[in-house]
Amino acid sequence: MGGGFFLQAFTYLAAAVVAVPVAKRLGLGSVLGYLLAGVFIGPFALGIVGSEGEDVMHFAEFGVVLMLFLVGLELEPAHLWRMRVPVLGLGGLQVTLTAALFTGLGMAFGLPWQQALAVGLILALSSTAIVLQTLAEKGWMSTGGGRSSFAVLLFQDIAVIPMLAVMPLLATLEAAGGDDGHHGHETWVAGLPAWAQTLAVLGAVAAIVVGGRYLLRPAFRFIARAKLREIFVAAALLLVVGIALLMQQVGLSPALGTFVAGVVLATSEYRHQLEADIEPFKGLLLGLFFLAVGASIDFALIADQPGAVAGLTVGLIALKLALLFGLARGFRLGVDQAMLFSFALAQGGEFAFVLFSYAQQNAVLSAETSKLLVVVVAVSMALTPLLILFFENVLMPRVGTKERADEDYDEMEGGNPVIIAGYGRFGQIVGRLLAAEGIESTVLEADSDQVELLRRFGRRVFYGDATRIDLLRSAGAEHAKLLVLALDRPDKNRELLATVRQEFPGLRVLARARGRVDAYQLLQEGCELVYRETFDAALRLGTDALAVLGRRKHRAHRAAQRFRHHDENLMREVADNYGDEDFISLVRRRNEEVERVMAEGPPEGRGGRDDAWDSAELRRTFGEDHPEAV
């Protein structure tokens, strides 16, 4: 038994280690590499992995659970509320219209309306695991199509709950004798009346929300004081597994429960540590999930019914492509982003494996129908990376250039001294100032709508994810003097900083920070100069406030300069201790010192010199003996 387990583990790991780098080198992407590796080692190719692949699939589904938890950590409740229109509007319409389309087709092919509705609901879902992994890998998450895809996937994951609830009501067949559950598992709510099951579900969700807000932070604080990373990792995994079990016991999707927990913890100070600790497990288990999908494709059934499998798979993808494209255009996405949206979501989803099994258990669908449709969904998932490659390499260059004002926008000279990553409200000001001084910049922006808008105003802005090394090389990072980090997402700024530090160590970096915490993290990760986006505006307002209150203008300006120096020194000192137990006491102590020094005024012996000069910068530029820098 032990040898069998280790042999199986060795087989899966070896397949991943060999296949995925080869697939990446060939430009196929990691997802397709995992899927192909699963096919090769599966029972219908080399036969190294046999019937135990189904058990591996159940284990690997935990990767999807971890992924949804990490997705939740990225979504603060306020941000989630701002997304309510695309989630409910675009996501709700996608599920409703797709389910209606396939229900109608099922009835046209002779299925009872109950079975047709079950099939329609299940086929309306797309693969959260494959789509999010692919979008993140390609750097498309922040595009219009990427954000719309995420909104639809979010609604689909939530929609799994009512689908599970309605499935038993659609039963038309006789229940298979002796089948009391596919997993031999009975939930806590089994046998309870509907109102009691509803209360149990609401209670479980409320427990996650309340516990996440009031219990988990003290618990993680207690665990963090032990200063043992492995215990914190164990606690993070314990949290995810516990919530998954709770959701399973009340008949809900474990992935949905962990997503809710992630959203609750999105504002926690332990968010980034949780992300860092769980990310490796998520990546490995997701890879195992894709391997298991590849290994589970029933090639015997495909060989037995090739016409049915091919026709249903092509029909599924083609109909979803057409419907998704129409929806995207209806929600005013550009042609390129509408195509990205439709090609990303055109497959079946991993929840289909669970739902088809559940429908079979509850006498909604026959075993033959379920097996056939499971193969169709698996094949559609396996084809998704190829569809994305077709979109990226064949359609995108043609469709994308049609909407551009000039063909030469796609050509980056790469000889400018400055690269600006992100050209939103912050990056635009920097770029305009440099341009006014005759300094050319190469600008990278990941929002295609923003790119098109800025090009209409005559700005040379290039579409692309600045965190990609190949784009940075094309932009001339090897020879540029300066990189300005002005991306909207702090995590992307830090990711780009880490890439530049590793690949282009000679490139100087100036970084935008959302606030003080973001500045601490950038400084900790080696950024030499950090600029808080609200700091200078607030300092200017404070200077004017002093003038309004009676201070002479030059005295108010000097006070602001002294405050700037003290505050920046404080920020750098605190950054070295950010996250320590005595962090708060250090900040309070240093703030009191700054206020005391400010109240005392400038040091004696200044003479009549104007403190408005930046004496620290003068020392760096002209040396310690400069007359204004003493």
Q: What DSSP line would sit under 396-440, residue for residue?
A: HHHHHHHTSS-GGGG------SEEEE--SHHHHHHHHHHHHTT--
At 321 the pLDDT is 94
Q: What gap in Å lies between CA 630 and CA 619, rounded to an integer?
A: 8
Q: What is the pLDDT of residue 428?
A: 81
Q: What is the DSSP letter of 506?
A: T
> Which residues are registered as beta bridge partners of 509?
483
Q: Where are the alpha helices (DSSP H) in 534-625?
A: 535-548, 553-577, 583-600, 615-622
Q: What are residue 100's DSSP bridge partners? A: none
Delineate the domains of the chain, giving CATH numbers in brackets.
Answer: 2-180+192-400 (1.20.1530.20), 411-533 (3.40.50.720), 542-630 (no CATH)
The first and second tokens of residue 250, run together, are 């009340």
- Residue 499 has a pLDDT of 81
Residue 526: CB partners within 8 Å, gap ≥ 6?
A: 497, 501
**The predicted structure's pLDDT at residue 159:** 82
Give the tokens for residue 13. 């790991």
Closest CA to 278 of 247, 214, 313, 235: 235
CB contact burial 604-622 (16+ within 10 A = b; e otherwise)? eeeeeeebeeebeebeeee
Sheet holding 461-463, edge to edge: 461-463, 441-445, 418-421, 482-485, 508-513, 529-532
Instruction: Tell me how far apart the alpha carbons of residues 481 and 47 are, in angstroms, rounded to a whole number.
Output: 55
Reading the block at residue 41, the tokens are 């080692």
d(CA 624, CA 618): 8
pLDDT digit string, tens, across residues 396-441: 877 754 333 333 334 455 578 888 888 877 888 888 788 877 888 8
Q: Which of 309, 305, 321 is nearest to 101 (CA)?
A: 321
Identity of residue 230: E
CA–CA gap between residue 151 and residue 209 (Å, rounded): 21
DSSP 267: G
Q: How many CB atoms lie within 10 A of CB 202?
A: 11
Q: Tell whether pTM > 0.85.
A: no
Which residues are CB-contacts of 51 (< 8 A; sequence separation ≥ 6)?
43
Expressed in angstroms, the distance from the first to the final Cα of the chain is 77
CA nearest to 133, candidates 34, 54, 262, 228: 34
Dig out the tokens for 465 from the structure.
């994810």
Q: What confidence score (pLDDT) does residue 595 get?
A: 65
H or E stretch at 511: strand 508-513
The CB density around residue 597, as the number of other CB atoms within 10 Å, is 15
Considering just the CA atoms, what is the radius of gyration of the chain in Å? 28
Tens digits of residue pLDDT in 53-91: 455 555 566 766 776 777 777 666 666 677 777 888 899
CA nearest to 381, candidates 52, 34, 14: 34
- Per the CB < 8 A criterion, the answer to whether 574 and 586 are in contact is yes
pLDDT at 103: 94
Q: What is the DSSP code string of 309-375?
A: HHHHHHHHHHHHHHHHHHHHHHTT--HHHHHHHHHHT-S--THHHHHHHHHHHTTSS-HHHHHHHHH
Q: Quote the longest CA-to-CA distance of the chain.
A: 98
Ranges of the chain with pLDDT below 50: 1-2, 53, 176-184, 401-411, 605-612, 618, 626-630
Distances (CA, A) of 172 to 113, 118, 262, 279: 10, 11, 38, 43
SS (H, E, C) 147-191: HHHHHHHHHHHHHHHHHHHHHHHHCCCCCCCCCCCCCCCCCCCCC
Q: Do the Cβ atoms of 167 and 358 come closer than 8 Å?
A: yes
Four-residue CA torsion sign, 78, 211, 63, 153: negative
Q: What's the CA gap between 174 and 362, in Å, rounded?
A: 9
- Structure token pair of residue 606: 């200044």
Cα–Cα distance between 356 and 352 in angstroms, integer? 6
Report pLDDT for 449.
Answer: 65
